[in-house]
Structure 1
Amino acid sequence: MRKTLQKLFAHKQLNREEARRMLLGIAREEFNDVQIASFVTVFQMRSIGMAELQGFRDALLELSVPLNVGGQTTIDIVGTGGDGKNTFNISTCSCFVVAGAGYKVTKHGSYGVSSAVGSSNVLMELGYEFTNDSDVLLRQLDKANICFLHAPLFHPALKAVVPVRKQLGMKTFFNMLGPLVNPVQPSHQLFGTFSQELSRLYHYLMQESGRDYTIVYALDGYDEISLTGLAKVHSSRGERLLSPDDFGMYQVNPKSLYGGETPAEAKSIFLDVLNDLATPAQKAVVCANAGLAIHTLCPEKSLLDCVQEARESIETGNALAKLYKITSNN
């Protein structure tokens, strides 16, 4: 670690294999918390390099617990977090809307670190029981079109960095990695990123993968389609700017996307959306993100038609039914 830190402090970057070995060493608890914190904070002071991101991703996928979905077409909707906006759980809620519209979702997520309530926090509050039992998850995917991969169960080697991340309490390069290391490596992904630079890195990485994807960065800083302004979108089909009008929506006030401070508050908003009792802004932003996910799966359909499918998933109760099928309080 000492030599690596000296190299990094000299403003040099790691190559892909060096980055891979470092993360493997962290996972194997070869370094103490101070060394890990020093390593992590380097990437707070300068941008992560492409080779570094590739190497870190390689290590985490190598160490992950696999889930084989048998070649099924599935999608993950996931943001990096770290945008500092404290929105409600838009991506996770959108996953159930997409499942309710008839598409398969393999959602990967964890507890909130840089936000008040992450996907795992709200799903636990809703009664979902985390598991890495492939039989259970595949049954859920079959009967509800959705299953949830709780990251700590699929990346157990990363327990060494949990205390450091909690104590730092801010976004780190692990936020950048989370969306890239879904153990399913689903055929389709909708990513949200906290910076335009990270969007470009994701774009280059996903071009290598051969999988279908859409990467979103809202120009006012959100890591999802926020409808608060324009969003830059990279995809396997090119780049474009999307406005609320492209979704058939009006621009919303950022305050209307506030997610609360506790899992109980997050649960309340989540259920309001799926019960079609949410505010117009909350419903609109979920329909926009779910619609973009459907458009990622079905690019031959217009974006407006995909948004309408998302809206119908909520209004028919299908999205809520998918939640009830996989939660223990059903």
Structure 2
Amino acid sequence: HAPLFSPALKAVAPVRKSLGVRNFFNVLGPLVNPVQPEYQMLGVYNLAMSRLYSYIYQEENKKFCIVHSMDGYDEISLTSQFKVVSNKGEQLFVPEELGFKRIGQEELSGGNTPVEAARIFRNVLHAQATEAQMNVVLANAAFGIQTVEQDKPIEECLEIARDSLYGKKALKVLEKFIEINQ
């Protein structure tokens, strides 16, 4: 999404796409965010990328959280162990440690079309998605919360995430965002 927000990356988007493989521009995207957020949560597709981003974010004094599922997902997928690298160091988790069941990759489909993806997204916000979908969102949200609230234990961050999803607070935020932007 970087080309939508950064004029410099918009200019090189055709070159990046024509290469057809992951490249320097894919790495650069999160680093050239014109907003320069104080907090950054990022998913990476391999551990080498987590080390690279960790070093850069430490040099910039950002509060960050980088996640990688050990089976290759660039998010907390709950399909395997996952690594979290943050200002506080590195930690390897298994889904069961956080109270989640390990799930199969087939349970993670985000939809084959934008309409399908939007339906799944709305189901999550209405707390009507599958257990696997809800749990993946909760796990990722909890670590996002902990990126900002670094002194809170992950269990407390999970409770905040649960309250936000099941209490429909996240849905209300989306509805307000849509209302403001119409």
Say whether residues 1:221 and 2:72 are aligned partners. Answer: yes
Deviations 1:159-212 (A, max 9, x none): 332223334444322221222222222111111111111111111111111121
Corresponding residue of 2:42: 191
- Compute the displacement of 1:260 (Å): 1.8
What amino acid does structure 2 have at the position aligned with 1:310? Answer: A
Corresponding residue of 1:282: 133
Corresponding residue of 1:202: 53
Corresponding residue of 1:99: none
- Compute the displacement of 1:254 (Å): 0.9
Task: Write the distance in 2 (CA, Å) between the matches of 1:153 and 1:218.
Answer: 27
- Compute the displacement of 1:158 (Å): 2.6
Contact 1:246 1:304 in 2 (8 A): no
Q: 3-state SS of the aligned residue for 2:101? A: coil
Structure 1 alignment gaps of length 5 or more: 1-109, 111-150
- Compute the displacement of 1:153 (Å): 4.3
What amino acid does structure 1 have at the position aligned with 2:73? Answer: Y
Structure 2 alignment gaps of length 5 or more: none
Across the two proteins, how many residue pairs are aligned to each other? 181
Task: Write the distance in 2 (CA, Å) between the matches of 1:232 and 1:152.
Answer: 28
Say whether residues 1:315 and 2:166 are aligned partners. Answer: yes
Task: Write the distance in 1 (CA, Å) between the matches of 2:33 and 2:107.
Answer: 30
Q: 3-state SS of the aligned residue for 1:327? A: helix
Corresponding residue of 2:100: 249
| Match runs of 1:227-266 below 5 Å | 227-266=78-117
Deviations 1:199-254 (A, max 9, x none): 11111111111121111111110111111111122111111101112322111111
RMSD of aligned C-alpha atoms? Answer: 1.7
What amino acid does structure 1 have at the position aligned with 2:27? Answer: M
Contact 1:248 1:304 in 2 (8 A): no
Larger radius of gyration: 1
Say whether residues 1:267 and 2:145 are aligned partners. Answer: no
TM-score of the superposed pair, with normalisation by structure 2: 0.92
Task: Write the distance in 2 (CA, Å) between the matches of 1:159 and 1:216.
Answer: 26
TM-score of the superposed pair, with normalisation by structure 1: 0.52
What amino acid does structure 2 have at the position aligned with 1:222? Answer: Y
Higher relative contact order (CA 8 A, sep 6+): 1
Identical columns (%): 49
Task: Write the distance in 2 (CA, Å) between the matches of 1:298 and 1:277.
Answer: 28
Q: 3-state SS of the aligned residue for 1:266? A: helix
Q: Cα distance 1:153–1:219, how it changes in 2: closer, same or farther (>3 A)?
A: closer
